[in-house]
Structure 1
Amino acid sequence: MSAADSADAAPMYKTWSAKELAGLSDEALIDAVQRQTFEFFWHGAHPVSGLAPDRRTTRDAPVDDLVAIGGSGFGVMAIIVAVERGWVTRDAGVARINRMLDVLCRATCYHGAFPHFMNGLTGATIPFSRKDDGGDLVETALLFQGLLCARQYFDADTTAEASIRGRVTGLWAEMEWDWYTRDGRKLLYWHWSPWNGWAMDHEIHGWNECLIAYVLAASAPRYPVDPLVYHRGYANGRDFINGKRYYDVELPLGQPYGGPLFFAHYSFCGIDPRGLRDRYADYWQLNCAHVQINRAYCVDNPKQHKGYGADCWGLTASDDPFGYSAHAPDNDNGTISPTAALSSLPYAPDAVLQTLRGFLNRHGDRIWGRYGFVDAFSEQHDWAADTFLAIDQGPIIVMMENHRSGLLWKLFMGIPEIQQGLRRLGFSSPHLTANAT
């Protein structure tokens, strides 16, 4: 074992079988699912930097050096949960995050933004595609969501914890959110590359998973964007305002039937939707409605896919028998993604617990493994993934914890810059009142 490995090592968690899990009480079951899923970000992480791989398999395949920036943001949040729950020691969590920052602080950046993928050993960019070889604003936002929570949580007067705070603050200050308005246009752009410029031409319109990018951009200490970038850019998207009813549930924002469920998860790992409002929506009501509609569609099962029902639902982006797709009621090929339901625990706890037990009782160890639930499965096609994805495992841990204790919501919403940014954008929240703690 190298010095880097020994600095934050912990014994390999003794995994639960699906049958053992099914016999636990609700609270113990949630804890065990969180804990085993956390193994993806602990023993499944990059062996030197501790950053999150894009994916791992059900087998003990060798780990390459590719790491995912957004997935690593969820990984940081998962480590905070692990420290708080006592799954790893505080010293071990601090050491791991400092190792992550060792690479992040020397990594190639693009006006402060990180790429989608990079080498977890060197920090060099690994292109996502031919022209997606530079800064990825949304992946960067998901990373900063986690890093800023770590800066807030690790507040002890020690050299190691001060290192986290100082280095996160440095990265945060150097991120040029205004650069990604493409010469001052009234919206954010997803990609920029020194070799391909703005060739990807991907405007970030809502409603989707990108609220976190606009909140961070408005909150930035040195390079913020004008609030009009949010109102004229994100909130003017073709699929932003909805107002229609699906399965007798009104959907304030979003595409028909709400789209994939990760829209209700990614930004809201840190942003607390409870009581969060602006001129466009009540975001708790929006996310609850999205979950209700997604579940109701699967129960209705208009395409008659095998296995769908009240204890087997959840459509979101994931692997499937044919590749990878953003599954939703209007893009349904019979694939259920466990992260879709499990990360929705705060919005529909009874329905999610019913489904969690349904997954275990009906499918058992075929879909449950060393890093929690596999990414997806399909009874219709007699298929189960042999993969675990960082961007799907992370929200399970974090959103389950937000249901249990509100930990990440309290941390993120307590950050002074975030409070200022939300106020600039016209949001109201219980966290923004004068006496909020």
Structure 2
Amino acid sequence: MNEVLLWVVGIAVAALGLALSIALHEVGHLLPAKRFGVKVTQYMVGFGPTLFSRRRGETEYGVKAVPLGGYIRMIGMFPPARNDPDQRVRASSTGRWALMVEEARQAGAEEFGPEDAHRAFYRLPVLKRIVIMAGGPVVNLLLAVVLTAVAFSGIGAATGTSLTLAEVNRCVLPATSTATTCSSEDPATPAAAAGLLPGDVVTSFAGTPVTSWEQLQGLIRAAAEEPVAIGVERRGEPLTLTIIPIRTERPVIGDDGRPTGRSVVVGFLGVSPLPSLQRVPLTEIPGIVGQQVEGVAGVVVRLPQRLYDVAQAAFGSEARDPNGPIGVVGIGRLAGELNALPQQTTSDVVLERANRLISLLAGLNVALFVFNLIPLLPFDGGHIAGALWEIVKKAFCRLTRRPDPGPVDVAKGMPVAYAVSLLLIGMSVLLLYADIVRPVRLPG
């Protein structure tokens, strides 16, 4: 299987995983809505023109052309305006925002007749509405937990490095180079020239037995311009090769794992190790997912600054932060790189790449969980925030012996929903451009 095909498979796996995550997210809304008696008229994965649909009972199930989300359509998402039972846009609603609210309310009211009024979403008790709207994000959180358990407890987490070669670079690129492919003018790396292959296990260097990657790294850095013997084990057979490390500039990596901007001249072979996989106990999985949730929440809180950094990288010379926001194209590229295995592989190489690909899908579900809980429309969190505010209002009215205020009018948040939607479109366009011109690259 050639590299291009492996890239395509990796991208397809990521796209399928994202589509299934979105579809299951909407199932998380659909099942409790039907269980509580709400009439659901549509279940759709994607937006835009409908590619395929089929009606079963009172619900139309389908797939749309733009696979960047999904929705279920429940009748009565917006309560009727107080003292306006006929749901008509009133002459007094002359303001642009007020007209927008009334039009959204009227469009919702036209979806059902008097015979279905008792099945409207807004008529449900507050807690049931919260369960329906939280169902989608909760499904994504559960998917993240399951996928993380498969990656870390089933396959194993990369903890440290082994002496197995994961990659053998074909050419030497300067430390300041931004190139990602070799040209005919680039010199071959000592490792490639000596015949080292991915999957080789290093056993000795310059006559010294090696027991750790850190030890091997020190021996390589200290040796340069002199032929030395390197012992490897290839498919269970011992093999000794002659290699001549070269002196080259390499970036200095800080304690945080990021380049410091400085470089140092050291001996260089052009190889990278395979991380050592160790299975993590299932009891540690909630903590791992919790850290991921905390990390994504931090990105959301600092999203304006993060997007500014992305713009600086896309339109300037700043480096792209690998921990920053990434778009759908970037996710596909990462999935392709993760699945592009070396020509010669070991079971450890395959498992390590599978771990990273599954972890990527788990991270996508964490992101879907966190972003959908943002307390603004059109996110699920906007409806949840409205329901929680209704609980507070009703509790206050009971304490002060005031009349029941009725459902919170979430339709008043529609101007915010439109503004947020425009911002999301702008963010998507920026990330699309950045993922093309300055993509996030895998470390190592």
Instruction: Please say whether Structure 1 and Structure 2 have the same fold, judged by a TM-score greater than 0.5.
Output: no
Structure-2-length-normalised TM-score: 0.22
Structure-1-length-normalised TM-score: 0.22
The structure where strand makes up a greater share of residues is 2
